[in-house]
């Protein structure tokens, strides 16, 4: 590994945990890659093993099956998966986006019925905001949840939903009062078993081949009003609360993936010969790699700085948007150069760099596009 500045945010406990996670990924994740890519999804068994190993929902309180851990533990899981290019398992969305919603806004009954089983991997979570006609602009959501006595009747369609096929529980963003705009938005917990809820076909993507990104359809799906999460009409507000942390998760992943692919590329160019010497011996290779290493170091320093702010409760939305914007764009540049330095092999799927390249493209799109990040940053100018 090419040396970067020492990281200063982790304690020895964190590093022990990192070792465990790394071993888990090597043992339980990496050997199944090809099978999962073919299936277009990760096996349920892998989720349960991750639960057993304490890799799901670590930041949830112990009474709800978690470990009461700080967010650096989440960061470590994200980093270790990203560092081995394991883009299939949607663990972090499940553990660090969906579960926190339930923990923060759920009733005691909701927490008890879902969180412990999410921590074991028996229940897989998803969050469904995006619709065919509403992505960046969530005000355009059309899925309705209409009250009938003590039930809600849900109709509509969602798309691009991570963990879509495997999901047992979906936090669905609905309109309970379409006339009220943002204030008519409500989060509803919808179990996969509800009649009228169907999952569409598996979406074919450029990368993230083992990730079950799917369409979801809701046709007169009835749920009790008790399934409302965080209050009627509160949805939009709830969605805003943890955006900084949610975007940081993407930044963390990208910083780690960029670092890993840089290491692989250095190793590759050291081995690979052309014109009688190692590819790394060409000045151009060294300069390109020096440029990449510099960017990786800057990304790493910035992400750690933001993580530190996050732990202290000081990370604001526009700084997190900068982290998301900068690291995703940086990763895009890094993987592109790394494919180039691999030559033809870099285009072959069996090489991590090819998959890293394909996986990277979406980072600038989901979790708020780069353009939306710029809107947020520009508002704070």
Ligand X SMILES: Cc1cc2nc3c(=O)[nH]c(=O)nc-3n(C[C@H](O)[C@H](O)[C@H](O)COP(=O)(O)OP(=O)(O)OC[C@H]3O[C@@H](n4cnc5c(N)ncnc54)[C@H](O)[C@@H]3O)c2cc1C
| Binding status of residue 208 toward ligand X by CB under 6 A | yes
Question: C-alpha dihedral over 31, 36, 37, 41, to 10 degrees?
Answer: -150
- As measured in angstroms, the least distance from the Cβ of 127 to ligand X is 5
Inter-CA distances, 231 with 16, 85, 98, 289, Å: 40, 38, 16, 51
Q: For residue 331, which of 352, 360, 303 has the smallest C-alpha distance?
A: 360
DSSP per-residue codes, 300-316: HHHHHHHHHHHHTT---
- As measured in angstroms, the least distance from the Cβ of 299 to another protein is 7
| Binding status of residue 366 toward ligand X by CB under 6 A | yes
User: Position of tokens 């160019």?
Assistant: 269
Partner interacting with residue 130 (select from ligand X, another protein, none; CB below 5-8 Å by kind): ligand X
Helices then strands, counting H and E runs in the chain, come out as 13, 10
| Binding status of residue 301 toward another protein by CB under 8 A | yes
| Number of other CB atoms surrounding residue 196 within 10 Å | 15
> Is 28 designated active site?
no
Contacts of 344 (CB under 8 A, 6+ apart): none
| Binding status of residue 374 toward another protein by CB under 8 A | yes
| Binding status of residue 298 toward another protein by CB under 8 A | yes
> Taking the chain, what is the end-to-end CA distance rounded to the nearest angstrom?
38
Q: Which is nearer to ligand X, 140 or 343 (CB)?
A: 140
Residue tagged active-site, from 37, 80, 131, 246: 246
| Binding status of residue 162 toward ligand X by CB under 6 A | yes
| Binding status of residue 325 toward another protein by CB under 8 A | yes
Quick note: the x/- pattern for ligand X over 95-134, rule CB under 6 A, is --------------------------------xxxx----
Token reading at 43? 């096996």
Inter-CA distances, 250 with 116, 129, 328, 380, Å: 25, 17, 8, 21
| Binding status of residue 340 toward another protein by CB under 8 A | no
Task: Identify the residue among 55, 81, 154, 289 touching another protein (CB under 8 A).
Answer: 289
| Binding status of residue 243 toward another protein by CB under 8 A | no
| Binding status of residue 243 toward ligand X by CB under 6 A | no
Partner interacting with residue 373 (select from ligand X, another protein, none; CB below 5-8 Å by kind): another protein
- As measured in angstroms, the least distance from the Cβ of 67 to ligand X is 24
| Binding status of residue 220 toward another protein by CB under 8 A | no
Partner interacting with residue 18 (select from ligand X, another protein, none; CB below 5-8 Å by kind): none
Partner interacting with residue 301 (select from another protein, ligand X, none; CB below 5-8 Å by kind): another protein
Contacts of 353 (CB under 8 A, 6+ apart): 261, 264, 265, 268, 335, 338, 339, 342, 346
Residues 270 and 26: their CA atoms lie apart, in Å, by: 24
Kindly list the catalytic residues: 246
| Binding interface with ligand X (CB under 6 A) | 127-130, 135-136, 160-162, 205, 208, 213, 362, 365-366, 369, 371-372, 375
């Amino acid at each position: 590994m090419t040396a970067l500045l020492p990281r200063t945010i982790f304690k020895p406990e964190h590093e022990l945990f990192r070792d465990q996670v790394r071993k888990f990924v090597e043992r339980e994740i990496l050997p199944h890659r090809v099978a999962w890519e073919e299936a277009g999804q990760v096996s349920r068994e892998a989720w349960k093993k991750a639960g057993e190993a304490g890799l799901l929902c670590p930041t949830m309180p112990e009474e709800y099956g978690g470990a009461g851990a700080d967010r650096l533990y989440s960061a470590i899981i994200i980093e270790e998966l990203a560092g081995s290019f394991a883009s299939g398992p949607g663990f972090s969305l499940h553990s660090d986006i969906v579960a926190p919603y339930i923990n923060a806004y759920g009733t005691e009954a909701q927490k008890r019925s879902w969180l412990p089983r999410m921590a074991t991997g028996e229940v897989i979570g998803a969050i469904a905001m995006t619709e065919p006609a509403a992505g960046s602009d969530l005000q355009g959501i059309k899925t309705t949840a209409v009250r009938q006595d003590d039930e809600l009747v849900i109709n509509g369609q969602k798309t691009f939903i991570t963990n879509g096929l495997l999901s047992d529980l979906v936090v669905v963003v609905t309109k309970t009062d379409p006339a009220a705009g943002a204030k008519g938005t409500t989060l509803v917990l919808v179990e996969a078993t509800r009649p009228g809820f169907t999952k569409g076909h598996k979406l074919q993507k450029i990368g993230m081949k083992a990730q079950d990104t799917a369409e979801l359809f809701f046709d007169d799906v009835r749920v009790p009003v008790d399934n409302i999460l965080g209050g009627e009409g509160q949805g939009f507000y709830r969605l805003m609360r943890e955006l900084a942390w949610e975007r940081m998760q993407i930044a963390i992943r990208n910083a780690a993936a960029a670092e890993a692919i840089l290491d692989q590329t250095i190793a590759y160019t050291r081995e690979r010969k052309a014109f009688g010497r190692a590819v790394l011996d060409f000045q151009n290779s060294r300069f390109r790699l020096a440029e990449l290493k510099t960017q990786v170091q800057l990304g790493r320093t910035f992400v750690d700085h933001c993580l530190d702010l996050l732990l202290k409760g000081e990370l604001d939305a526009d700084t997190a948007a900068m982290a998301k914007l900068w690291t995703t764009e940086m990763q895009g540049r890094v993987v592109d150069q790394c494919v180039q330095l691999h030559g033809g092999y870099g285009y072959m799927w069996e090489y991590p760099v090819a998959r890293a390249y394909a996986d990277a493209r979406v980072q600038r799109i989901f979790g708020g596009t780069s353009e939306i990040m710029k809107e947020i940053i520009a508002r704070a100018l």
